[in-house]
Structure formats: C-alpha cells, structure tokens
Amino acid sequence: MRFHIQGQKKLTGTIHVSGAKNAILPIIAATTLTNKTCIIDNVPRISDVDTMLEILRSVGGSVAWTGEHQLTISNKDLELQPLDTKLVKRLRASVLFLGPFLARFQSFSLPEPGGCIIGNRPLDSHLEGLRALGCIWERTPQSYEVSHSGLVGADVVLREASVTATENIVMAACAARGTTRIINAASEPHVQDLIAFLIKMGADISGGGTSTITVNGSNSLGGAQHTVIPDPIDAGTYIILGIASKSKITVTDIRLDHLDVVLETLRAMGAEFDRLERSIIIHQTGVLKSEKIETRIYPGIPTDLQPLFGVLATQAHGTSFIHETLFESRLGYLSELEKMGASVLISDAHRAYVTGPTPLNGRNIECRDLRAGASLVVAALIASGETSIENAQILDRGYEKIDEHLAQIGASIIREDSAN
C-alpha cells in the first residue's frame, strides 16, 4: 500500500489521540493471567492489536469488539497450541505472551518474535529475568523452548531497563510463589498502565513508574475493566506535525504529564503552543532553532519520537545533533529525507547532524519502520509537490486511520492499496 500526499496544504482543526499501542499490547497478553472476563476501553484500531488478538484467538481466547474502541476478552477456554510463527513474526510485542503463558502453562514454544527492523533487539534481558524465577529455556533456530516446575519469586536485576522485559517479568511474577523485586525496571507510561491493569485484576504490585518494582505473587487474578492511557507517541507525532507545518491545530485527549521532556524540548526550539488540561493548541511557530536531540529511557525523549524530531530539525535554523542512544538502526529515515532535500550528515549508527532550514520537495520514498514512516508523512505534508510513500501499510501498525485523521485537518492524502 502507498500514500500519495500533496504537500503544503493548509492544515487546521483538531486531532484526537488514540489509546496507547504499547500499553494495549501487554494488556492483551495480561488477560491470559485470568479466566475471568476483561473489558478494555480506548483501544486503538491498529493492526498490531489485530495481530495480538489473532494470536490470542489461535489458542482459544475469546475476543469481541464490544464497541468501536472497546474489547471484551475471556480466556477461560485457553489451551496450549503451537503459536502461529507467521503471526508471532509480525510484531515484537508477541514476546509479551512469554511471561503470562509461563504463569499458565508448564512448558511451551515461542517462535522468534518479529517487529520493526530498527536494530538488534535481544531477548536476553527477558530470558535471564525469567530464569531467575525458575524458568528453563533453550533457543532453537526458530524458537524459544521454555518450561518450569513452578515459578518462585526472586530478585531480578535488568542490565538494561528494557520495556518488554520488565513487562514480561512483572506478569510472570504475578503467578510466582513469593516476592519478586525487579531492579533497573523500565518506567515508561505504558509499563505503568500495564501495572495499573494488573492491580485491578488483584495483583499486589508496588513501584510502578520507578526503577524498582516489587510483586507479591498470588494464586489467581480476576477480571478487570480498564481504560488504556492516551498514546504519548501518537500525541507527539501530531504535535510535531503541527509545528513543522506551521499550522494552527489542536491535539487533544493527551496525558501531558507523559510528555514533559518532549514539550520542554519543543519549547526550547522555539515552538509556540498553549497547554490545556488534555490538549495542546499549536500556534503558527515563527523561527525554529536547532537543538541537541538525545533519546533516553523514560522520562527522557522517547526513541519512538526521534524520527519526528529528525524531520522537525530539517526546518530549524542551524545544525541539530540527533543522538539515538537506544537503537543502532533507527536513522535510516534520514536518507529518505535527504532525497527530498534535507541536509543530513550521518556520522555513525547512532549519531547524525541535520542542518536547516531546507525546503523539502515531493519524491517517491519508502517507509522502513513505523515511526520512520510517520516522519516521512510529516515531511510529505510540508514538501512542495506530491510525495508517494511505499510500504505505508506499516503505519497502520501503530497509527489509527492516520490518513483519515490527516484528511480531517485538510491534508491531501490518498491511500492506494497495492492490489490496484
């Protein structure tokens, strides 16, 4: 599928932010920790959610959309089946079935997960942590064979504050006998939202949002009703779109406290916006100044917004330094921006310099991963002429109906399915 975008259209109006992709994905996995019904609201209609639900259904989970953004899930009939390799390979988040399945099954095989090609995404922090709880694992060329004879709480020290590793270990610890402490845990908003959901299910967890999480395991968890937090990356994407295109748009349904460092950095670059309780009202920004953009684990600038800061830097006066400290292959989008006229110097796998402002011209470019794709859409909206973005279906993995959202504020964007 490709998007055809006519640039430099006047954008105005309001964009509503969806529920957080990286919160709903672990929450779907967490529903397998109970046989009771769970009802989840503010679920984004994105293809990563569809894939996780397909995996759940493939092992007997019963899933229904009981509202446009509401899921009702019951796993009382869950039974172990070999997981579909094709489905598991579609996204990284399939790794999140590891922890809760260990809580439910004595042994199973997890095919190698897939996901955005943005760097070597090791699972060792997951597997070492689960080993501490009594899990035995063996890696085969295509899968991980895991088993245990009873999970027992333990101290787990993460060498990296890995988001999904923290989530997997928290979920397994909920079913372990005794207390688990996770040291150097991730504290991202979506980790906190998963923990809030688990506590509603009856889990005894403290320290969510800090670097030390303590879980007192219990025999069984109950059902729960939960509303997923707004997606900070969705919000950041549309806020940066408004600033880069010098538009007067409002981005609403936001948790502003999840974006403090992002908003402070944008303000330091000269962006002009008002902060309301759950909205950002963007004014036509005058001169943008270059900035040092260094991605960090939460609460720093999230790596998922690095490509959006990269395209913004092409419109800022001076040379911005982009330092992607987490992933080693997440600067590829800059060469696509270069095709459109950006002035880029990539110094190594983690660092690049972007000098602006430079006019961007419509080109045929290619989406390589989800957030890189978002930066190319922003570039296309501010470029002169038409831009075609190949492989744009990747955007549907994490942005709900992005073309419809953008058309509603005046963008000229046509979705051309590859079939025709």
Which residues are catalytic, by number?
116
Binders in 21-40 for ligand EPZ, by CB under 6 A: 21-22, 25
Instruction: Pick the closer one to ligand EPZ by CB: 20 or 344.
Output: 20
Contacting residue, 44, 230, 373, 398, with ligand EPZ by CB under 6 A = 398
Rounded to whole angstroms, the Cα distance separating 389 from 366 reads 5
Closest CA to 79 of 98, 58, 93, 97: 58
CB of 322 to ligand EPZ, least distance (A): 15
CA distance linking residue 103 with residue 203, whole number of Å: 13
Q: Are strands 38-41 and 70-74 parallel, antiparallel or unpaired?
A: antiparallel
Instruction: Decide if residue 308 touches ligand EPZ (CB under 6 A).
Output: no
Q: Is 248 strand, coil or helix? A: strand
Spatial strand order in the sheet of 386-390? 364-366, 386-390, 2-6, 412-416
- Residue appearing with tokens 């990284």: 92
Residue 312, token pair as written in the block: 């913004």
Site string for ligand EPZ, 42-81 (x = CB under 6 A): ----------------------------------------
Q: Which residues contact 124 (CB under 8 A, 6 or more apart)?
A: none
Locus of tokens 């919160």: 23
- Tokens at 274, concatenated: 């008002």
* Site string (268-307) toward ligand EPZ, x via CB under 6 A: -----------------------------x----xxx---
Pick 299 or 357: Cβ nearer ligand EPZ: 299
**Residue 115 vs 356, nearer CB to ligand EPZ:** 115
Give the shortest CB-157-to-ligand EPZ separation in angstroms.
Answer: 13
Give the integer Cα–Cα distance in Å for 392 and 368.
Answer: 9
Shortest Å distance, C-beta 125 to ligand EPZ: 6
Lay out the site mask for ligand EPZ across 113-142 (x = CB under 6 A, - = otherwise). ---x--x-x---------------------
What is the C-alpha to C-alpha distance for residues 192 and 171, in angstroms, rounded to an integer? Answer: 13
Is residue 231 within 8 Å of residue 44, measured between CB atoms?
Answer: yes
Shortest distance in whole angstroms from residue 136 CB to ligand EPZ: 22
Residue 392 · residue 2 · CB < 8 Å: yes
**In whole angstroms, how close is the CB of 305 to ligand EPZ at the nearest point?**
10
Query: Site for ligand EPZ (CB under 6 A): which residue of 78, 371, 373, 377?
Result: 371
Q: Binding residues for ligand EPZ, per CB under 6 A?
A: 21-22, 25, 92-93, 116, 119, 121, 160-165, 297, 302-304, 326-327, 370-371, 398
